[in-house]
Chains A and B, each alone.
Chain A
Amino acid sequence: MAEPVTERLVQPLAEKRSVATKAQTQWYKDAVIYQLHVRAFCDSNNDGIGDFPGLTQRLDYLQELGVDALWLMPFFPSPLRDDGYDIADYFSVHPSYGTLDNFKTFLNAAHARGLRVIIEMVLNHTSDQHQWFQEARSSRDNPRRDWYVWSDTDDRYKEARIIFLDTELSNWAWDPVSKSYYWHRFFSHQPDLNYDNPAVFEAMWGVMKFWLDLGVDGFRLDAVPYLVERDGTNCENLPETHAIIKELRRRLDAEYPDRMLLAEANQWPADVSQYFGNGDEFHMAFHFPLMPRIFMAVQLEDRKPIIEILEQTPPIPESSQWCIFLRNHDELTLEMVTDVERDYMYDEYAKDKTMRINLGIRRRLAPMMDNDRRKIQLLNVLLMTMPGTPIVYYGDEIGMGDNIYLGDRNGVRTPMQWSGGWNAGFSNADPERLYSPLISNPVYGYQAINVESQKRVPHSLLSWMKQLIGVRKSTKVFSRGSIEFLRPANHRVLAYVRQLGDERILVVNNLSSSAQAVELDLRQYKGYIPIEMSGRNLFPRIGDLPYLLTMGPYQSYGFRLRRL
């Protein structure tokens, strides 16, 4: 499914904000977000590490791709023991990525191209190298002592699960300096902040204001469910945590009305939906359980997992939006699946145990799809046509591969492949100096998979992705419309109608590797003419009889339903 891109009229964000309407303050609903790591995108100073000047140079590419917003992974000063999610200073830029001035330049350049910028904000914890923690551990009487969660024993909050099962044995770590235990939900070098102390909240709001004042358009708030701990609970999704979010949102709306908060809460939809509150908490939240089920459905050749999870997804406030994605910088998380489903996913997508980490699979989209272009396209069609704001992970638009032999999740964080030349066009440094080896195997290596070569080919994955994003953005039906699943007897076909006002789009996906015939009950659209969105060809008018379609393997159709 694809449609020629209609030329976009780029309106700089400064103009947009000055006349912000309700629709514009809900820009996040219509956006296509592109997730990238500054370190991995482009190196301007030949030190082997991507930086803000390099990213700024590549903004034209992102504008041309058609995305609306960039989500940057953490770029703050950090010991980088968790890829930047261990922040040591919230008010600056890691020297490897440039300076704060470089960031400001980038931000202005992005805004000038109509691109919004979403940055990470890790509220739950800091690095143990952060000055706050260094002061807190220095003595039990230090004024910052109570900024973190301390205990003389390690037996409190026993009901809280350990998230990083591969590396952590407990949520408590012994601090030899102050001779007591501190609480951490993630790595032991990431002590949790204590939100029972109002000073912590004020400090973090101060951090957010700093970046908002610079002009960032939103925050992706990391590890949201774990902000508060209480005895006798699993220390997740507590009412006190929601109260903190509500207060953040209240302040944000009052002072920065067109900015956005995105929740990272790897929970079931019913739990995550609580984070929308009554439209007074997060603007957006990731729909984590949907993602593995998209992969599962394609492998099973059965729509059941997708429909089941979306049926379990409660309605959300009008101003809220789900964020959906295929792959990201983390492992393909399998926390929100059953044991049976997890085993299946491992067996199908991570037979090599090296591909597994924590409760998930550390692979990119293209290798998971065995580099089958049809499957990659099918998944992207699902991403762009299902309810929610889609996120494209950098490199997936060209089908980049991964390197499962790199530690942690670094295998999916390798340098962006811009060309088939020196260091894939990522850096002019010596290859040995790159922060990560390039992908160089014959299938996914930069000589074979790169932006430059794909830009030259009208039928490349990159070209197709541009068209798909164009289709997505040609209508608000996909971003704001309702969804109604059709249930043809052929379970290998996933069909749904998206509707917004009088506009209706029928999407039909063949999830199987073989040709399928499907009869759709479209009687309620009797008299409408389906117009295929790729070639704009007319299909027979819908009548009383079941509407028969034949579909090739992994094929998708998008039809505008028009009454003419």
Chain B
Amino acid sequence: MADDSSFLSDDLIRQLISVGEVDLLVGIPSHNNAENIVHTVEAVEESFQSAFPRQRVVIIDVDMGSNDGTPEAFLKPVTRKGASARGLTSLRTEHRVVARCENAAPATALRTIVATADLLRARACAVISAATSNLTPEWVGNLLQPLYRQDFDLVTPLYSRQRFEGLLARILLYPMTRSVFGKRIREIHSTEFGFSGRLATNCTNLDLWHEPAIQDLPQTSLTLTAITSDYRCCQSFLGPKLRPSAGHAPDIVTAVRQAVGALFWSIDANESYWMGRLGSEAVTTFGPDHEFTDETIPVNLDRTFELFRSGVEELSPILKTIMAADTYAEIQKLASLDERNLCFDNALWAKTLYDFAASYHHSLLNRDHLVQALVPLYRGKIYSFFLQHAASSSAEIEADSENLCLEFERQKSDFSERWKLRSEVTT
């Protein structure tokens, strides 16, 4: 473990001395969010006033080197006309603290929040993205309430989304997490989530904070740590998740690298937990477990298909190394089909992902390159999903998602065998 015993700055410690013990903490990792962060703080404080007027509260902005005045905007007093008109008030001082972590990775930002929660003995903590433009006080309350009032340790969000939004979670992260770790948690890598003080204390000094694979999306590891350490997990419905504005959303390659890289790393790191577990169990869910909006979004399907086909062709040597021969053969066959006939079925998709995860485990090639090689296949699955569900109802899409999850669960035994087999060969 690297020597980072003083990763919290003296300035932050000085601020925390004045804050003292708290009941609730909301952390806001930020980077050039000056425009939106005032709205974020307003919503958080209104949530405190409406749902937690008696509690000791603090909001911490972990700024990762903004040059647009984000910390100053965060600290600026806000006049909440709406809140005061409704008679909302907090009995206690509402603290705001800024931690300046210039050029820090998101993992450092999250670790700062977790360590702060631990130091201040917070009972319930929520992390909110400074870029979420439609944050409401209810979101914050829905994340904190289960932790503070019902003794849960982890709250992951549920959103209402357009049918073709959030596909990374729907067709990749959720089914795989569910089958491997056995918990039906839909959003393991969201920018909003909550955790208890107990979990924070457990996580503060874990080695995982230094792991390169989780630097950009550390929340996945926190979620999976909660699952694998048998903390009480639940999901809470927040509301519509708007797409990040241009410039704030990662491209598909980056998104897959970050999310899948963190997931594969966690699978690898927690083998003793999931190996031998079969099936999955539901977790307590507050509100609906899914909801679709009627929004329409533009998708360039032709380009998606083309990137799938060219990717399979260009990465052929790598894919052969990663995937079992029969899986690879099926993929090649798919790539040769006419675009109107592409059907990347659930069984093949599950097998593909398991092949990638096993190869990641066995380090058959550079792990980052391996994860990137998944991107064209993911595009193919997306394309197929669009074709299949162009006219589907919400219920049909949801039913298909459930079938996908069941397929992953069905193949988990084979995956475990592959995982072990290669291990034995290696040893």
Contacts and interface: CB of A to CB of B under 8 A. Distances in A.
A492 interface: yes
Contacts of A339: 87
Q: Which of B53, B56, B90, B93 has the most CB of A within 10 A?
A: B93
A512 B20 contact: yes
Given A338-B87, A490-B17, A490-B18, A344 B54 contact: yes
A302 B91 contact: yes
B91 A296 contact: yes
Given A340-B53, A344-B54, A489-B15, A305 B91 contact: yes
A305 to B, nearest CB: 7
A338 B53 CA distance: 11
Contact of B91 (A341, A512, A514): A341
Contacts of B95: 491
Interface in B10-40: 15, 17-20
Contact of B93 (A303, A340, A344, A514): A303
B320 interface: no
Contacts of A518: 18
Interface string A206-234: 00000000000000000000000000000
B284 interface: no
Interface of B: 15, 17-20, 53-54, 56, 87, 89-93, 95
A512 B92 CA distance: 13
A521 B62 CA distance: 26
A300 interface: yes
A304 B20 contact: no
Contacts of B92: 300, 302, 304, 491
Contacts of B91: 296, 300, 302, 304-305, 340-341, 344
Contacts of B54: 300, 340, 344
Contacts of B93: 302-304, 491
B120 to A, nearest CB: 13
A493 to B, nearest CB: 9
A148 to B, nearest CB: 38
B17 A517 contact: yes
26 contacts: A296-B91, A300-B54, A300-B91, A302-B56, A302-B93, A303-B93, A304-B90, A304-B92, A304-B93, A305-B91, A338-B89, A339-B87, A340-B54, A340-B91, A341-B91, A344-B53, A344-B54, A490-B18, A491-B19, A491-B93, A491-B95, A492-B20, A512-B20, A516-B20, A517-B17, A518-B18
Contacts, number: 44
Interface string A288-304: 00000000100010111
Interface string A337-349: 0111100100000
Per CB-CB distance, the 4 closest pairs between chain A and chain B, nearest first, are A489-B18, A491-B93, A490-B18, A302-B92
Of the candidates A296, A339, A340, A514, the one having the most CB atoms from chain B within 10 angstroms of its own CB is A340
A8 to B, nearest CB: 41
A481 to B, nearest CB: 26
A512 B20 CA distance: 10
Nearest to B21: A514
Contacts of B56: 302
Contacts of A340: 53-54, 89, 91
Contacts of A489: 15, 18-19
Secondary structure at chain B's binding surface: helix, strand, loop or mixed? loop
A488 B89 CA distance: 21
A490 B87 contact: no
A52 to B, nearest CB: 45
A488 B18 CA distance: 8
B77 to A, nearest CB: 13
Contacts of A517: 17
Interface string A500-530: 0000000000001010111000000000000
Contact of A490 (B20, B53, B89, B90): B20
Nearest to B55: A300
A517 B384 CA distance: 62
B248 to A, nearest CB: 33
A491 B15 CA distance: 11
A28 B19 CA distance: 40
Contacts of B19: 489, 491
Contacts of A512: 20
A341 B91 CA distance: 7
B34 to A, nearest CB: 23
Contacts of A300: 54, 91-92
Contacts of A514: 20
A516 B18 CA distance: 9
Interface string A140-152: 0000000000000
B138 to A, nearest CB: 18
A305 B90 CA distance: 10
A341 B92 CA distance: 11
A304 to B, nearest CB: 5
Contacts of A490: 17-18, 20
Contacts of B18: 488-491, 518
B390 to A, nearest CB: 51
Nearest to A304: B93
A53 B231 CA distance: 71
Contacts of A491: 18-20, 92-93, 95
Contacts of A304: 90-93
B413 to A, nearest CB: 54
B12 to A, nearest CB: 12
A473 to B, nearest CB: 33
Contacts of A302: 56, 91-93
Nearest to B17: A517
Interface in A272-328: 296, 300, 302-305
Given A300-B54, A514-B20, 9 more contacts: A296-B91, A304-B90, A339-B87, A340-B53, A340-B89, A490-B18, A490-B20, A512-B20, A516-B20
B46 to A, nearest CB: 14
Interface in A373-420: none
A340 B55 CA distance: 12
Contacts of A516: 20
B155 to A, nearest CB: 25
A339 B15 CA distance: 32
A491 B58 CA distance: 12
Nearest to B88: A340
Contacts of B87: 338-339
A302 B93 CA distance: 7
Contacts of A488: 18
A512 B89 CA distance: 21
A340 B56 CA distance: 15
A341 B19 CA distance: 22
A344 B92 CA distance: 12
Contacts of A296: 91
Contacts of A305: 91
A413 B87 CA distance: 36
A517 B13 CA distance: 13
Nearest to B97: A489
A303 B95 CA distance: 13
A328 B89 CA distance: 28
Nearest to B49: A340
A514 B92 CA distance: 17
Nearest to B90: A304
Nearest to A493: B18
A368 B20 CA distance: 25
A157 B92 CA distance: 38
A489 B54 CA distance: 19
A517 B15 CA distance: 12
A331 to B, nearest CB: 21
A158 to B, nearest CB: 24
